[in-house]
Each structure stands twice: as structure tokens, then as C-alpha cells.
């Protein structure tokens, strides 16, 4: 059916009605065919096209296709499983239902439970194995602060050994709370272009790598030089792009500590 004929049949079609939608569909088809005229072309473009920047588009896509890691530490993991695995809560609504069993394929780690001091190096290694950009959610009181386990075996807060983007309180948090924390993380990813976690949390110069000339408690000469170069690079880039530094305003709550 021609667009003109349909419009003649329904001259007073309200926006949102099926006929209106059909007119827009036919108009889009005619646009691709090159049949759309001046005034109608203007109207179609103003209705159908949104302009944005590529960075914003990428951040929007990244925040809506997170790949969490299949990783549970304690009882909070049950709530995490309820979030991703049950149709009632269903993290697939926010595009994060694809759990990955390898840190190489994941970009989000949810610390669900207390981290013992024997587990902390393992968690840190898993986080280091994930590819940038990567994020971390600390779920529950135990991984955020040690919780009730103020004792010899548990790390008092996972942010002592790795950067955490979102802390979700609760013991354990309800699935809704974890989803809310995840939405906060999505908001952070969309609002602020990613700079890698070291830039995000002012941790340039803390890179670690295997070396031969290990003296306990002292960085090697090569490491010292590399740290100095990294700090120099950050200082120069901050000078060249103004007080806010590269990548827009600083992330809220990401001050030095």
C-alpha cells in the first residue's frame, strides 16, 4: 500500500496509533528507496535520527552487555545466583546474563562473600587476569568491610587489595539490592568514559610484574624507572588537557585514599 493512500484513508491518525506507525514504516522504506521528498525527509530525519558521540555509544553498549564472572565466595553467592539464574530477578533484563567461567572473557567480578587472607591473592590474581575495561562489585557486608568476621582469617574489606567500583550493603543483600548496585555501575560506565582502573583510582605506578632481582620490600631498578615514567606520563597528560585531566570530569567518589 502506498503511503499517500494510507494517509488519505486516515488523515487524522493520532501519533502512536497503528496507522501512524505504519506511515512511519512506509516512510522509512521510501527513504531507503530514495523516494522521500524535501519536507517529509526533514520531518523523518528529525523524528528518526539521534546524534551522539561514538564514545557515548560504546559506553552505552558496554554497560548493557556486561559479562560477569562465575565466581562465588560464600553465602552471598546464593543471592547472586538468584539474580542471574532465576526468572524472578533475571539480570538478562540488563544484559548481564552471560556468566563466563574464565576471567579472560569477563569484565565484571562480583565478590560475593568474605575474602579470607588465603583467598585474597587468588581473587587479586583473577582480577588482574581480566581484560580492561573491567569492574568489580563488592557484594555484602563481609567483602566490603569484613562484616561480622573481625578475626584473624578474613580480610577487613576487599578494597584493601583490589579496586572496587560499587559496594552493595546487606547481609546478604537481597537480589534487588544487587540489581540496584549493578544499575549504579551501569550508570557509572555510561556517565564516565573508561580510563582503566589505575587511572580511575589514581593508582598509576603500582603495576607489578615478575622480576629476577628481588630484594624483599624494595622495587627493582627497572621497576623504579617504569614507575617514574608512568607518573611522568600522567602528570604531562594532566597538564596538557587542563585541570580536569583527560576524559572529562573526575569520577565522583574516586578520590585519593
Partner 1 sequence: MPDPPGLELIAGELRDAHAGSVLGTYHEHGQACLIVDPEQVLPVLRWLRDTPGQEYRFLASLHGVDYLPAEPRFGVHYELLNRDRVERVRVRAAVADPGGDDLPSLESCVPLFPTAEFQEREVYDFFGIVFRGHPDLRRILLPEVYAGWPQRRDFPVGGEPVVFTYNEHEVPGWSQ
List of residues contacting partner 1 (CB under 8 A): 117-118, 145-146, 150-153, 156, 257
In angstroms, what is the minimal distance from the CB of 171 to partner 1?
15
DSSP state of 250: P
User: Which residue intervals of 1-67 are DSSP H helices?
Assistant: 3-9, 18-33, 38-48, 54-63
In angstroms, what is the minimal distance from the CB of 238 to partner 1?
21
Whose Cβ is closer to partner 1: residue 150's or residue 210's? Answer: 150
Whose Cβ is closer to partner 1: residue 5's or residue 257's? Answer: 257
In angstroms, what is the minimal distance from the CB of 144 to partner 1?
11
Q: How far apart are CA 58 and CA 194, in angstroms?
A: 10
In angstroms, what is the minimal distance from the CB of 116 to partner 1?
9
Q: How far is CA 55 from the centre of its chain?
A: 14
Whose Cβ is closer to partner 1: residue 152's or residue 209's? Answer: 152
Whose Cβ is closer to partner 1: residue 1's or residue 216's? Answer: 216
Of 73, 88, 75, the C-alpha closest to 171 is 75
Output the DSSP codes for 132-198: SS-EEEEEHHHHHH-TT--STTB-S-GGGTS--SEEE-SSSPPHHHHHHHHHHHHHHHHHS----HH
In angstroms, what is the minimal distance from the CB of 122 to partner 1?
11
In angstroms, what is the minimal distance from the CB of 198 to partner 1?
19
Whose Cβ is closer to partner 1: residue 36's or residue 155's? Answer: 155
Whose Cβ is closer to partner 1: residue 2's or residue 118's? Answer: 118
Question: Backbone dihedral region of 93: left (phi > 0), alpha (psi from -120 to 50 degrees) or beta?
Answer: alpha
Question: Backbone dihedral region of 38: left (phi > 0), alpha (psi from -120 to 50 degrees) or beta?
Answer: alpha
Q: How far apart are CA 63 and CA 240, in angstroms?
A: 29
Amino acid at each position: 500500500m502506498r503511503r499517500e493512500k494510507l494517509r488519505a484513508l486516515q488523515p487524522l491518525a493520532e501519533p502512536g496509533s497503528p496507522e501512524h506507525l505504519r506511515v512511519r514504516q512506509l516512510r522509512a522504506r521510501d527513504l531507503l528507496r530514495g523516494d522521500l521528498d524535501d519536507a517529509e525527509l526533514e520531518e523523518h530525519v528529525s523524528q528518526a535520527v539521534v546524534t551522539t558521540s561514538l564514545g557515548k555509544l560504546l559506553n552505552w553498549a558496554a554497560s548493557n552487555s556486561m559479562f560477569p564472572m562465575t565466581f562465588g565466595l560464600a553465602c552471598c553467592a546464593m543471592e547472586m545466583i538468584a539474580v542471574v539464574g532465576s526468572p524472578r530477578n533475571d539480570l538478562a533484563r540488563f544484559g548481564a546474563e552471560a556468566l563466563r567461567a574464565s576471567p579472560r572473557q569477563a569484565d565484571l567480578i562480583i565478590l560475593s562473600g568474605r575474602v579470607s587472607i588465603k583467598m585474597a591473592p587468588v581473587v587479586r590474581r583473577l582480577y588482574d587476569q581480566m581484560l580492561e575495561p573491567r569492574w568489580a562489585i563488592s557484594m555484602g557486608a563481609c567483602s566490603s568491610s569484613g562484616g561480622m568476621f573481625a578475626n584473624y582469617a578474613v580480610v577487613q574489606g576487599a578494597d584493601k587489595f583490589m579496586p572496587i567500583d560499587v559496594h552493595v550493603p546487606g547481609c546478604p543483600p537481597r537480589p534487588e539490592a544487587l540489581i540496584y548496585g549493578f544499575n549504579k555501575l551501569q550508570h557509572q560506565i555510561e556517565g564516565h568514559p573508561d580510563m582503566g582502573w589505575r587511572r580511575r583510582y589514581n593508582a598509576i605506578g603500582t603495576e607489578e610484574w615478575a622480576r629476577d632481582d628481588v630484594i624483599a620490600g624494595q622495587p627493582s631498578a627497572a621497576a623504579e624507572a617504569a614507575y617514574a615514567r608512568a607518573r611522568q606520563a600522567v602528570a604531562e597528560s594532566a597538564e596538557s588537557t587542563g585541570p580536569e585531566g583527560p576524559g572529562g570530569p573526575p569520577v565522583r567518589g574516586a578520590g585519593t585514599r
